[in-house]
Chains A and B, each alone.
Chain A
Amino acid sequence: MKMNGARILLESLKREGVDLVFGYPGGTVINLYDELMNMREIRHILPRHEQGGTHAADGYARASGKVGVAIATSGPGATNTITGIATAYMDSIPMVIITGQVPTPLIGNDAFQEVDIIGITRPITKHSFLIRSAKDIPAIVQKAFYIARSGRPGPVLIDFPKDVQISQAEFKWPENVDIRGYKPNIEGHQRQIEKAVDMMLAARRPVMYVGGGVILANAAAELTDLARTMQIPVTTTLMGLGSFPESDPLSLKMLGMHGAYCANMAITHTDLVIAVGSRFDDRVTGKIATFAPHAKIIHIDVDPTSIRKNVRVDLPIVGDTRDVLAKMLEYAKNHPDKVAALHSAMEAWHEDISGWKEKHPIGYKASTSIIKPQYVIQKLRELSDDDAIMATDVGQHQMWVAQFFGFQLPRTLLTSGGLGTMGYGLPAAMGAQAAFPKRQVLCVCGDGGVQMNMQEMATLVQQRLPVKIIILNNNFLGMVRQWQELFFDKRYSQTCLELPMDFVKLAEAYGAKGLKADKPSEVERVLKEGLAHKGPVIMEFKIAREEKVLPMVPAGASLNEMVLNA
């Protein structure tokens, strides 16, 4: 049966199992939107800004593990998606972005609302396609989804000219995808895997350093099993939080710039780093020359370019982390004697670690007169559901969440780690809530970043997405202020927001609920009331204005050069 290109695209999305898209209409997607009215099976959420829509698709993908889909019109619609695409690219999030494009004959003529979006997004997409003919649509959509979700996931853009949306073709869904230049390496090399376990069995002070790759590959269970079987301590990156329960005695919590003392000390003294789905980012390693100075390094990653990019590696394993960890576990379980020997050989190491944990646990100075942000996060953990999904924005509050929330489950933290995008939290929470209407979705923001995509409050209310927004209001661009305090002699250049916002009124203006706490004694009541409310809520907490995120490894310093209290 012949149908128009717009319809073919929607049919193709349906074949890929898409039931929800975030999009914003405009001239070059008006035909697509017209067809969408006939397509009951695909729910469409209209954000209030394309950046919001793109982050929402990203939040949907992170929470659900499915490919997120965003639609925008050509020109300004397309350029508004860029921050969202770059955010997803840096954190390897599977997403397909569909942009309208001017009719094919006009491409290159500086037509109205024309931009070369493929050119603009080339460095921030895993791949992109320009659809030139309606008959190509099914194969392109199928390839786009396959590329987005396989190997190291990432965003894929499809540019869809208006004339192709109108032109007629036969809908034919290809039986399978075959891209000759794209064959991601999924299965880890068995010999390398065995060598890795042998190295672990021979180590005395091993540590696993786990990143977002484990969450993306749905390998948290395998990781946890392996760590527990071998009794090897685990530290995670920001992106890796949730891959290993932080309540487990083997957990060292997060490492790096604002990592736990015990995690950074463990890296400094370890004799074997087992890096899994992590990429030795500078926020994690500190000064690269002194990272894990006494250790051999095993690096497991699905992306060969991650390996040996920043550090020397003694044993690389390219493969899906879930496949590799499962095989490692199997091999370890076949050698119970050696595993038992490892346990006793690590006694001194576990003692060292307990010592570090006791010496400088993650903590803060409590107060009865002023609200400490860390206290809010601890209370929030206590009062929220065990499987609550947490989205954050970027800044101090993000680090306090990472330090104090205590993540237990994969895909419960949505945060912009690689790009550090302010404005990410609220729309990402919106996407996660759309994916899981029944689960509790929390969003912790600063008073700066929340205003970068505040308009999505309207979407939350309209779509009945009951996101619980917690604003830690210090009336500062706090994280930058902290750097200015520590490294620029307290010269607070342009980081004081001056105007005290009334977030309660703002929530009410959108038709949501607003609550506020000024004193520590009000924190629990506000959280309880806000979490119990059926619709979207803003809970504002006036926090200690100059509270700092500690410990801190200054940029470029070694991990053992932590500022513990300043």
Chain B
Amino acid sequence: MQHTISVVVENEFGVLSRVVGLFSGRGFNIDSLSVAPTMDESLSRITIVTRGDDAILEQISKQLNKLVDVIKVLDFSDGSAIEREMALIKVAAEDDSRAEVLRIVDIFRAKIVDVTPKSYTIEITGNPSKINAILDLLKPLGLKELVRTGAVAIGRGPKGWKG
């Protein structure tokens, strides 16, 4: 099962490599990963989408907690969070398919951010499953390049992660 974990860490040199090294060293999966500083500049937030059964997820969370630089591990597996990802998609668009691409972009409320006679570049933000859905439709038209940010997540409700 896929799980999204947010890890609040010291915003310091070498911390990301400790987190990533833990995953590779123990054979845990990383489906996607994104990192950036938080509003408190001494902290960074890493969002990791990973996979495994309950026992593996328990180990991942415990092992992350064990790292000295990890302040907090938030496990969003139960759908208690809002998840968003952005993708930039360069798709072939000539003749007939130009109109088709525009229709799809419109339906998904995506944006065209670059246009050439042979292509469109699309920006889309949404739940990762929404991005997968638009990709399924665009694929037959000819994908030239795809860049995804990986998911970020935030808990629902009025409280921040500190409670």
Contact = CB atoms under 8 A, between A and B. Distances in A.
A540 B67 CA distance: 46
Contacts of A179: 68
A72 to B, nearest CB: 20
Contact count band on B: 20 to 34
B17 A181 contact: no
B159 interface: no
Interface stretch (A73-81, A280-288, A304-312): A304-312
B103 interface: no
B65 A304 contact: yes
B66 A303 contact: yes
Interface stretch (A3-11, A117-125, A213-221, A419-427): A117-125
Interface string A89-127: 000000000000000000000000000001100110011
A122 B13 contact: no
B13 A308 contact: no
B42 to A, nearest CB: 9
A130 interface: yes
A127 B18 CA distance: 9
A147 B68 contact: yes
Nearest to B66: A305
A123 B21 contact: yes
B9 A308 contact: no
A487 interface: no
Contacts of B13: 130
Contacts of A147: 68
B85 interface: no
A304 B62 contact: yes
B65 A308 contact: no
B59 interface: yes
Nearest to A128: B14
Interface in A117-146: 118-119, 122-123, 126-127, 130
A119 B66 contact: no
B67 A123 contact: no
A365 interface: no
A545 B17 CA distance: 48
Contacts of A122: 17-18, 21
Given A181-B9, A305-B63, A308-B58, A123 B25 contact: yes
Contacts of A182: 68
A180 interface: yes
Contact of B68 (A181, A304, A305, A308): A181
B147 interface: no
A10 B63 CA distance: 33
Nearest to B54: A308
A162 B17 CA distance: 24
B70 interface: yes
A118 B68 contact: no
A185 to B, nearest CB: 10
Interface in B12-59: 13-14, 17-18, 21, 25, 55, 58-59
Contacts of A180: 71
B28 to A, nearest CB: 12
A304 B13 CA distance: 26
Nearest to A123: B25
A119 B18 CA distance: 9
Nearest to A303: B66
A504 B135 CA distance: 76
A124 B21 CA distance: 11
Interface in A169-221: 179-182
Nearest to B69: A181
A127 B68 contact: yes
Contact of B59 (A119, A123, A305): A305
Contacts of A127: 68
Nearest to A309: B59
A130 B9 contact: no
Contact of A119 (B17, B25, B58): B17
Contacts of B66: 303-305
Contacts of A304: 62, 65-66
B14 to A, nearest CB: 7
B71 to A, nearest CB: 5
B43 to A, nearest CB: 10
A127 B17 CA distance: 12
A255 B109 CA distance: 65
A181 B18 CA distance: 14
Contacts of B68: 126-127, 147, 179, 181-182
B59 A181 contact: no
Given A122-B17, A122-B21, A123-B25, A181 B67 contact: yes
Interface in A290-310: 303-305, 308-309
Contacts of A309: 59
A308 B69 contact: no
A304 B68 CA distance: 14
A368 B71 CA distance: 64
A548 B58 CA distance: 41
B83 interface: no
A136 to B, nearest CB: 12
Contact of A118 (B14, B62, B70): B14
Contact of B62 (A119, A123, A130, A305): A305
B140 to A, nearest CB: 44
Nearest to B55: A308
B123 interface: no
A181 B63 contact: no
Contacts of A308: 55, 58-59
Interface string B57-94: 01100110111111100000000000000000000000
Nearest to B70: A181
Most buried by B among A126, A147, A181, A305: A181
17 contacts: A119-B17, A122-B17, A122-B18, A122-B21, A147-B68, A179-B68, A181-B9, A181-B10, A181-B69, A182-B68, A304-B62, A304-B66, A305-B59, A305-B62, A305-B66, A308-B58, A308-B59
Interface of B: 9-10, 13-14, 17-18, 21, 25, 55, 58-59, 62-63, 65-71
4 closest A-B pairs by beta carbon, nearest first, are A305-B62, A127-B68, A182-B68, A181-B71
Given A130-B14, A305-B59, A308-B55, 5 more contacts: A122-B18, A303-B66, A304-B66, A305-B62, A305-B63
Interface of A: 118-119, 122-123, 126-127, 130, 147, 179-182, 303-305, 308-309
